Amino acid sequence: MRKDTEIKFVGQPIYGQLLKLIDKGTYAELVREKKSDYYYKAFGSWDQLVPLLFGILSRCDSMAETCEGLRAMSGKLNHLGIKKAPAKSTAGDGLRNRDSSFFEALYYKLVGRYKSFLHAWR
């Protein structure tokens, strides 16, 4: 196998497909409305959302485990919209300091948008 095919995923990974379900316009509107990036220059809301979802889908027990898992995929993070895995301290600070109302509002926007699809699974 050539080195360049080892670095990049072939096709679109499922996790990347899930992230594409988030409408960028709605997302940017919520960031402005909730001012979730106001105090953060290097660790934006998207940089926090990606590790949080990765941790949930990977069944990680801690933020340290999540960051280590992302660091293991370091060459393959460009499809997620982040440049590098966050440091454990940065991710922890984001969890402690960023208001959770942004993520709550994003959740309810996604549920509202995909309600008909989710309703079919009941």
- pLDDT one-digit tens code per residue, 12-26: 578 888 888 999 999
Q: Total structural domains in the chain?
A: 1
Span 38-53, mean pLDDT?
88
Q: What is the mean pLDDT of residues 30-43?
A: 88
Host domain of residue 46: 3-119
For all residues of the chain together, what is the average pLDDT? 83
Residue 38, pLDDT > 80, answer yes
pLDDT digits (tens, 9 = 90+) for 81-92: 888 888 999 898
Per-residue confidence (pLDDT) for residue 65, from 0 to 100: 93
Task: With a cut of 90, say whether residue 120 has pLDDT above it.
Answer: no
Residues 6+ apart with CB under 8 A from 34: 99, 101, 102, 105
